[in-house]
Amino acid sequence: MVRKAAAGGARLVVLPEVWNGPYATAAFGEYAEPCPSVGEDATCSASPSVCALARLAAELSLVIVGGSIAELGGDDKLYNTCLVYDAKGLVAAKHRKVHLFDIDVPGKITFRESDTLSPGGALTTFDAGGAFGLVGVGICYDVRFPELALLMAARGARLLVYPGAFNMVTGPAHWELLMRARAVDSQAFVIGASPARTDAPPAAPPGGAARKYPHYTAWGHSIVVSPWGEVLAHAAEGEALLLLDLEMSRVEEVRASLPTSKQKRPDIYTVKPAGG
C-alpha cells in the first residue's frame, strides 16, 4: 500500500494504530519492539517493524507516519508508540500515546490499555518539510482531548495526524465527529488512519485451541478533514488507500477568516473552586 501511495505521488503516508499485531492488551508484550530515538537511523534497526518502515521511507524518499506499534521502552515499560520516518529513514518524531484508552461502556465494551501500557508524557510535532510544515501527532484516544490538538496548533502545526482504531461502539458515534471537531477547533487539516475492519473469527471448534487474544473489531473509515471541517476523503470499513492533495494554504485562509486563536480568553478559562 505504501508503494502504491508513492507511485501515486504521495509525499507523506499515514498508517493506522497497532498495525503489526492484535489490538489487545495481553498481546502488546509479545509484539513489542524497542524503538529508536529521534535523529537515529532506523534503517538498520533490529526491530523488524521499525526497520521495514524506515527502509521503505528511504527507498521511496517520502515521510512515513508509521501508525503505532507496541514499544518495549528502555525502562522495560510498554508504550503505544508512533515513529515518524523521514525520507532518509531517520526517526523524525516519536510519540507515545499520552491518553491511555481505559473505558467501560456497560454491556458494550471494556478496554484498559493501562493494564499493560504506560502513558507517554509529551506533545509531539515534527517538521515534515515542503508545503506541509509542522505536523502534530496523536494516537487514537488522544483525539478526544482538544487541549492536545490546540497546543499542537499553537506550536504551529497545520496538519494533525491520528493513527487510531476506534471500535464498533465508539466508531459510529464519535470517529468522524471528533476528527471534524479537532479540525475546526485547531483550524488544521486532520488525518485519522484506522486499520480495516476484520470480523471476529468463528469460535474455535470443540476441542480446538482457544483463541489466544480477544478480538477487537476496528471501525475502519480512515478520514481526511479540512481546516474548515469538511470531510475531504473517507474510506469504508475495508482496506483502502486514500490519496489526495492537501491545499495547505487553506489553513491560513481559515485562520484569517475566523481568527479564533487570537480571540481566546485565558483569563476566564481557569476553573476555580466553588465560591472562589
Ligand X SMILES: NC(=O)CC(=O)C(=O)O
Catalytic residue among 33, 35, 82, 97: 97
Q: Of the two residues 55 and 174, which places its CB atom closer to ligand X in the complex?
A: 174
Name the nearest CA neighbour of 90 among 122, 139, 131, 127: 127
By CB under 6 A, the residues from 164 to 223 that bind ligand X are 165-167, 170, 174
Q: Of the two residues 132 and 175, which places its CB atom closer to ligand X in the complex?
A: 175
CA atoms of 87 and 15, how far apart (whole Å) = 16
Let me know: does 242 contact 190? Beta carbons within 8 Å: no
Q: Of the two residues 54 and 165, which places its CB atom closer to ligand X in the complex?
A: 165
Let me know: does 264 contact 151? Beta carbons within 8 Å: no
Residue 100: which residues within 8 A CB-CB, separation 6 or more? 80, 113, 114, 117, 119, 141
Let me know: does 164 contact 176? Beta carbons within 8 Å: no
Q: Of the two residues 123 and 165, which places its CB atom closer to ligand X in the complex?
A: 165
Gyration radius from the chain CA atoms: 19
The verdict on whether 140 is a catalytic residue reads yes
Show the site string, 135-174: x = touches ligand X by CB under 6 A, - = not.
-----xx--x--------------------xxx--x---x
Strand partners, 112: 102
Residue 183 CB, nearest distance to ligand X (Å)? 17
CA atoms of 157 and 180, how far apart (whole Å) = 16
CA atoms of 49 and 45, how far apart (whole Å) = 9
Tell me the residue nearest to ligand X as measured from the CB: 170
Residue 13 CB, nearest distance to ligand X (Å)? 21
Bridge pairing between strands 159-163 and 189-193: parallel
Show the site string, 73-112: x = touches ligand X by CB under 6 A, - = not.
----------------------------x-----------
Catalytic residue among 33, 35, 140, 237: 140
Residues identified as active-site: 17, 97, 140
Residues of this chain that interact with ligand X (CB under 6 A) are 101, 140-141, 144, 165-167, 170, 174
